[in-house]
Amino acid sequence: MEDTIKQTLLATVEGLRHVGRERARLLERMGIRTASDLLFDFPRDYQDLSDERLIAELDEDELQSVRAEVTETAIANSGFGKTRVSILVQDSTGHLRATWFNQPFMRGKFHEGQQLLLTAKPKMRGMMWEMSHPQITFLADEEDPLAGRKLLPVYALTEGLSQFYMRRMVWSAVEELAEVPEEVFPEQLLRRYKIEPLSEAIRGIHQPADLEVLERARRRFIFQELFVLQLAVSTRRSMQRSLPAPPLPATTKIDARIRRLLPFELTESQSRAIGEVSADMALDRPMNRLLQGDVGSGKTLVALYAMLVAVAHGKQAVLMAPTEILARQHADTLAGMLEASRVRFAVLAGGTAKSEREQILADIAAGEINVVLGTHAVIQDAVKFKDLGLVVIDEQHKFGVRQRAALRQGDMSPHYLVMTATPIPRTVTMTLFGDLDISTLTELPGGRQPINTYLVEPDQQTRWWQFVRDRLREGRQAYVVAPLVDESETVSAPSVAEAFEQLTNGELEAFRIALLHGRLSPADKQETMDLFRDGETQVLVSTSVIEVGVDVPNASVMTIAGAERFGLAQLHQLRGRVGRGNHAGFCGVLVGEELSDQGRERLTAFSKSTDGFALAELDFSMRGPGDLFGTQQHGLPPLRIADLQRDRDILEEARREAQLLVSEDPGLKHADHERLRVQMLKRYGEALDISDVG
C-alpha cells in the first residue's frame, strides 16, 4: 500500500490531467517534477474577489471586482518599442477602461462580447473609471473550476505559463490526489495541536471557500514545517547531550591562575558568561553554548578563559575564525596575554607556508601545541589532535552545523563554544541555533569610545571628506567600505576599485591609501592589514572583509558607500571597527541619490542607534531572516510556507511541543511517530548531522 502511494506521488506531472509534455517542461523550470511537487506547490498569494461591485458603485484605491462585457479592444505604440493594450468594458451602470503597458500579448486574449471579472484598485480618469493591470477571470470559460469563487489562489509562474492554466493543473491534482498523501501526525497529536487533517488542509490551501478555511489550512502547514524543524533541532540537542565529554572544571586554583593573565577587569556580563561556560565544561557531556555580544563586548576574553581551562587540564583547544586576517589577529591578542605563560599556540590557515604547516601538524598531533587558531583549514583530514578538549568557533553564522561537528575526533566529544558579534533575533536563535544554550554579553568594557554616526547627503559629501582629511592630519586612520570589488553592469552599487581610484586622485590624494578585498591572496591581505595596523597606511579602502574582529585602535573614521546593500547588523559590525582606542569614532554613511523610502528608514534607524540587538530585530522585521543569516550557509533548506517574523507565535508553540515530544520519545522510535521521524530525517538529517537517529 505504502509503495503504491509513493509511486502515485512520485509519478511525473506529465501524466496528470491538463499538464502534458509541454507544460511539464515549463513546470520543471520551477522545480516541479512530480505529482507531489505540484500538490505541495502552495499559492504565494490569493486574489480576493469578495468585494464585487457595479461600475457606478466603485471607489478609488480600494481592491474591487467588476463583472462586465468587453465592448472594444485597442493596442497603441508609445515610442521606443513600448506598447499599451486597453479594453473597454461595460455593465448596466457604465463603462470602464482596463490598460496593460508593455504586454502586447494581452491583446489576443480579448474579443468583443466576452464576459470578464476584473479585479484591481480603480482610479477615475477624466469621466471614466480605469483599472491598470487588473487580474482577469474569464467567466465564459465553463472549464474553469474556480469560476464563481471569491478567493483565487495566485501561484508563482514561469514564462509561457499563465495563472489560468496553473490553477487548472493544481485543481486537477488536488481533486485526484488530495486523499493520497499519508498523514504524518497520529490522531492524538492532531487533536493535541488542534490542526487540520492533511487532506482537508490540502484542499483548504488550494481551494479555500473563505478566509477562515484558508487560515486553518495555512496554520496546519506552517505548524508542520516549523514543528518538523524543531523536532530536528531538539533531536540534535538530545543526541549531543548523550555524547561523553571530558569534565573540565574551573577549580579555584585554575580560576586564580587564569585571572592573573587577563589584561582587563571583567564586566558583570563577562563574569556571568564565564560562570555559565565553566558550569558546562565541568559536566561529562559536551558544552554546546552560543556566546553572543555586541561589537566590542569582550567575547574573546571569555573564549580565552575557556581555552585556558581546557589547557589547564592537559587538553588542546582550537579557535576557528572565518578569515585568516581574524585568525592572525586572535593570535596577536593571545601573544600579548600569554607572554608570561607556558601555553604554546600556532596559526593554521590557507596562507600558512607548506614547511611551517607540516611542522605545526606534527606538533598538534604530538600535543606540543596547546591552542590552534585557524580558518576552515583546521577541519581538514590532515589535522589530528592528540587530545582535543574545546572547540571555539568565532562568528558562528559563517559556519554550518556540520562544520562545527567536523572537529569531533575519537569517542570523546570536545566542548563547543560558538561566538557571534552579530546579535541574533530570538526567532533565529530558536531555529538556526536552537541546539545551543545561549549566553549574552549585555555591556561594554570600560574605555570604549562613543561612535557618532551621520547620514551624509549628496550635497554634504565635500564637507565629509574635509572632516576625514582633518582626522587624518591629526594622526588618525580611516576606513572606506564599499559593497563590490569591481564595477558591475548588473548591480547598481559602488565598488572598492572605483572608490580607490577616485580617492587616490581626488579627496584623499595627499594620504597613503591601500586596497583590501577577498580576491587578494592570503599573503597580500595579511601584508595590507599589517601595514595599516602599523600606521604605514593611513586609509584602507575595503569590502566588508573587515566587518568582523579587525582591531586597529588608531582608526577613528569609517566611511560607508552603498550602505543600502548591507544589512543593519553588517553595518553595525563595520561601524564597530572604529572607536576602539583612545579616540572617539565617526561613521559617515554616504546617501545615494536613488535611495528608497525603506532604505532611508533603515539607514536613519542605524544612524540613531548603537544598540546592535535593537538593530538586529529591526532588520529582521524589515528584511526577514534570509538577509541576516543565509540558511544556505547552515546547510538548512529554506522554509516553504512559514515566515519566522510573521509566524513567531506558531514557532514558539512548535518549539515547546517538539521539545516535549522528543523528551517523551527520544529518537522518535514509537510506531506512531515513524512518519514524523522519516520526514524530519529526509529534510534535516544531513544538514543537522542527525542521520543516524533511531
Same domain, 567 and 428: no
- Under a CB-based contact definition with an 8 Å cutoff, are residues 599 and 593 in contact? no
- Under a CB-based contact definition with an 8 Å cutoff, are residues 548 and 323 in contact? yes
Side chain identity at 412, as an amino acid letter? Answer: M
Choosing from 559, 594, 609, the residue where a domain stops is 609
Supply the CATH number for residue 144's domain: 2.40.50.140
C-alpha cell at 397: 553564522
Q: Would you state the pLDDT for residue 6?
A: 63
Residues ≥6 apart with Cβ < 8 Å to 157: 30, 163, 166
Q: Could you give the C-alpha distances from 178 to 5, 34, 40, 200, in angstroms and in order? A: 12, 14, 10, 8
| Inside any domain, residue 660 | no
Same domain, 304 and 351: yes
Give CA–CA dist 406/403, Å, rounded: 5
| Angle, CA 179 vertex, CA 175 and CA 180 arms, to 5° | 105
Q: Would you state the pLDDT for residue 636?
A: 67
Same domain, 41 and 81: no
Output DSSP code: residue 636. P
Same domain, 103 and 39: no
Q: Whole domain around residue 457: which residue ranges?
A: 451-609
If you compute the radius of gyration of the chain from its CA atoms, what whole number of angstroms results?
A: 30
| Inside any domain, residue 385 | yes
- Under a CB-based contact definition with an 8 Å cutoff, are residues 584 and 450 in contact? yes
Q: Which residues pair with 135 in a beta bridge?
A: 119
Q: How many CA atoms lie within 13 A of 590 on its CB side?
A: 20
Same domain, 100 and 69: yes
Supply the CATH number for residue 498's domain: 3.40.50.300
Residues ≥6 apart with Cβ < 8 Å to 503: 480, 509, 513, 539, 541
Give CA–CA dist 609/583, Å, rounded: 20
By CB atoms closer than 10 A (0-12, 13-18, 19+), residue 623 is middle
| Inside any domain, residue 229 | yes
Choosing from 387, 416, 441, the residue where a domain stops is 441
| Inside any domain, residue 619 | no
Same domain, 282 and 347: yes
Same domain, 177 and 194: no
Same domain, 457 and 569: yes
Choosing from 408, 441, 474, the residue where a domain stops is 441
Give CA–CA dist 494/17, Å, rounded: 51
Give CA–CA dist 242/435, Å, rounded: 13
- How many other CB atoms sit within 10 Å of the CB of residue 408? 17
Beta strands in 432-549 (DSSP E): 437-441, 451-456, 477-481, 513-516, 539-542
| Inside any domain, residue 133 | yes
User: What are the backbone dihedrals phi and psi of residue 35, each rounded to the nearest 5 degrees, phi first?
Assistant: -60, -40
Q: Which residues pair with 76 in a beta bridge?
A: 84
| Inside any domain, residue 638 | no
Side chain identity at 145, as an amino acid letter? Answer: P
Same domain, 601 and 458: yes
Q: How many structural domains comprise the chain?
A: 5
Give CA–CA dist 660/668, Å, rounded: 11
Same domain, 21 and 168: yes
Give CA–CA dist 141/622, Å, rounded: 41
- How many other CB atoms sit within 10 Å of the CB of residue 600? 13
| Inside any domain, residue 169 | yes
Q: Would you state the pLDDT for residue 558?
A: 95
Q: Looking at beta carbons, which pairs linking 349-357 to residues 24 or more positions away fall under 8 Å?
A: 349/324, 349/374, 349/375, 349/377, 349/522, 350/324, 350/375, 350/376, 350/377, 350/522, 351/324, 351/521, 351/522, 351/523, 351/525, 351/526, 352/377
| Inside any domain, residue 351 | yes
Q: Would you state the pLDDT for residue 624?
A: 62
Output DSSP code: residue 495. B
Give CA–CA dist 171/152, Å, rounded: 11
What's the average pLDDT block by block, 10 residues per block, for the chain (694 residues)? 69 91 94 94 88 93 91 74 85 94 80 90 93 83 65 90 89 93 94 96 95 96 96 90 93 93 86 96 94 84 95 95 84 83 88 86 94 87 90 73 63 89 78 84 74 93 95 95 75 80 92 90 86 93 79 92 86 88 91 83 90 82 56 62 89 95 94 94 84 57
Same domain, 227 and 272: no
Q: Would you state the pLDDT for residue 318?
A: 94
Same domain, 14 and 65: no
